[in-house]
Structure 1
Amino acid sequence: MQNSLNTRSMIFTLYGDYIRHYGSEIWIGSLIRFLEEFGHNEQAVRAAISRMSKQGWIESRKQGNKSYYFLTQRGQKRMDEAAKRIFKLQPEKWSGEWTMFTYTIPEEKRSIRDELRKELVWSGFGLLTNSFWISPGDQENQIQEVIEKYDIRSYVHYFTAQYKGPDESTRLVRECWNLEEINERYDEFIKKYSQKYVIDKNKIEKGEMTDGECFVERTKLVHEYRKFLFVDPGLPQELLPAEWLGDHAASLFSDYYKALAVPSNRFFESIYREGNELKKVSGYDVLNHPLMANNEQ
């Protein structure tokens, strides 16, 4: 039996890669059916959905005797942010400026410290010294959201600045992030999926892989790759080591995703339409997915 945390994580993957393109809403029966493909039972799905609702990621509505779950504004924003980072194939250009964020949270608000740290890590910040976080580039919007979410305006300061030494900016990177460890994780991803990609691509071309099997493999692929959002800060090219494997992993992910995209979407729609109105978000077509477009460049 899968635990609720794993089930919850898989539900996030389904919302991010599929459901958000269909109005961000799904009937609970369809969601249970999709999760069965990965060994998650109905009890685990309902427990995970309940937890996500309490955390403010989703809301529910009733239509007759059916319950539908849709992303809240907060949930939709997080999915859009995650998709933008997942499907980004190349690091962004760097202005040379750093965003610096520091806080002193009083004891009566100490319960939010762990959540605040998680939000900062998610947004690409690294801890330079105690309660002093840095990130290359402009992070003002992310900081303002964190300030408003946790009501900590009186306890924080943030700046934009250039590093003047005494060493290179790469020293700050080494002190804030373990790029060697992240690179090792990328290496594991590449070793695991390089062979799978070749095998599955050949199967698809020969008609030896069902739509359902493609759906499972694509979902597992995205589920695995999106874990890098929690460990890789998405540093600009100028701050990455010469032997960085993130670009190779992104290219492999793109190619594999593209090979699985069409048949997996067919399977998703075949199940989805059983309990939901098949209404795609205007303009959405898996063949016009940003990843596809980027992959053609």
Structure 2
Amino acid sequence: MTTAQDDHSAQSLMLSFLGIYLLDKDSAVYSGSVIDVFARVSVSEEAVRSTLTRMANRGLLTRHRQGRRVYFGLTDRAAQVLGDGARRVWRTGAVNRDWDGNWTMVAFSLPDSRRSDRHDLRSQLIWAGFGLLQNGLWIAPGIKDAAAIVEELGLAENVTVFTAQPSKPTESLDLIHKAFDTDAIAARYNEFLERWDNRTPLPSAPDDLARQLVLHTDWLQLVRQDPYLPAEHLTEDWPAIRAEKTFQELAAQYETTATAIATELIEEIRVER
């Protein structure tokens, strides 16, 4: 079997695992159980332990000891991150059919001495669906809570946020093509379809638990990179529509079997966050 790490980092797979099996539960999972689960997607014990430790050090996981065993639970911060991912996967959808014609615009200028802040802001803007229109000016369709991003990073004094609608000669379609690489977005969805929309998706996987983890990781990475563009400005055969249907059908197909396997493998304890 091709290793999962050929396509995904261990942390990406870990976020999928935690989102499916630990989110909304007051539980912590035994590290040995996680190792057993991840062996199914060919992630090594060393990589699992390293990922768990790194996420704990970043304040995403809590450690709990019972005898010689170490269990990992979610912090409030991790629950927030995973909850946001779940909303993107299950509620937001892959295509924006309710656009109101408004654009949120974020302008900022940070010196080279604050390169780290600039990188963090750009990363958060991309996650929120913004594209770079021109130097220092980012845009996203719809009304976005850019203030939350700015305040969390402590950059309120360096950023200007406003909403607007384009005026002639500028059209919304022009903004989309300038700020977003629609060909690259479509190509990512087509790659997803090539992998999953066939008679035997991921044939090298040993079972539905492995398929479930890779499927969810594939899809979450897709929607994290998708700016959720207005449907009225996309082609009728926009591949995100078919890709979303494929994801939902396969996720439902794998759920029962994958959950049964996970129940056998995963050892949990009850904890309080």
- Whichever residue aligns with residue 23 of structure 1, its letter is D
Is 1:242 aligned with 2:242? no
Which stretch shifts more, 18-27 or 183-192?
18-27
C-alpha change, 1:75 and 1:196, in structure 2 (3 Å) is: farther
TM-score by length of 1: 0.81
Secondary structure of the corresponding residue to residue 48 of structure 1: helix
Measure, in 1, the Cα distance between the counterparts of 2:43 and 2:201: 28
Show structure 1 runs of 4+ deviating over 4 A: 197-200
Secondary structure of the corresponding residue to residue 169 of structure 2: coil
Is 1:14 aligned with 2:12? no
- Whichever residue aligns with residue 43 of structure 2, its letter is H
Match of 1:81 in 2: 84
Aligned pair partner of 1:64 in 64, 67, 86 = 67
Match of 2:95 in 1: 91
Q: Does the 8 Å CA contact 1:15/1:24 hold for their aligned counterparts?
A: no
- Whichever residue aligns with residue 81 of structure 1, its letter is D
1:216 Cα deviation from its structure 2 partner: 1.0
1:95 Cα deviation from its structure 2 partner: 1.2
The CA deviation string for residues 190-245 of structure 1, in whole angstroms up to 9 with x for no partner, is 12212145898xxxxxxxxx9x7111111111111222133211123123233311
Match of 1:288 in 2: none
Measure, in 1, the Cα distance between the counterparts of 2:157 and 2:259: 47
1:106 Cα deviation from its structure 2 partner: 3.5
Identity %: 27
Match of 2:167 in 1: 164
5+ residue gaps, structure 1: 201-209, 280-297
Match of 1:213 in 2: 207
- Whichever residue aligns with residue 248 of structure 1, its letter is R
Match of 1:123 in 2: 128
Aligned pair partner of 1:267 in 247, 261, 271 = 261
Match of 2:148 in 1: 145
Q: How does 1:160-239 map to 2 (within 5 A)?
A: 160-196=163-199, 213-239=207-233
Is 1:28 aligned with 2:26? no
| Greater percentage in helix | 1
Measure, in 2, the Cα distance between the counterparts of 1:139 and 1:199: 36
Measure, in 1, the Cα distance between the counterparts of 2:136 and 2:59: 27
Secondary structure of the corresponding residue to residue 139 of structure 1: coil
- Whichever residue aligns with residue 91 of structure 1, its letter is V
- Whichever residue aligns with residue 146 of structure 1, its letter is I
Is 1:111 aligned with 2:105? no
Aligned pair partner of 1:252 in 246, 253, 257 = 246
1:278 Cα deviation from its structure 2 partner: 8.0
Number of aligned residue pairs: 264
- Whichever residue aligns with residue 115 of structure 2, its letter is R
Aligned pair partner of 2:268 in 263, 276, 279 = 276
1:110 Cα deviation from its structure 2 partner: 2.1
Match of 2:141 in 1: 136
Bigger relative contact order, structure 1 or 2, given CA contacts below 8 A and separation 6+?
A: 2
Q: Does the 8 Å CA contact 2:130/2:140 hold for their aligned counterparts?
A: yes
The CA deviation string for residues 112-144 of structure 1, in whole angstroms up to 9 with x for no partner, is 21122111111100010111111111212xx23
- Whichever residue aligns with residue 276 of structure 1, its letter is E
TM-score by length of 2: 0.87
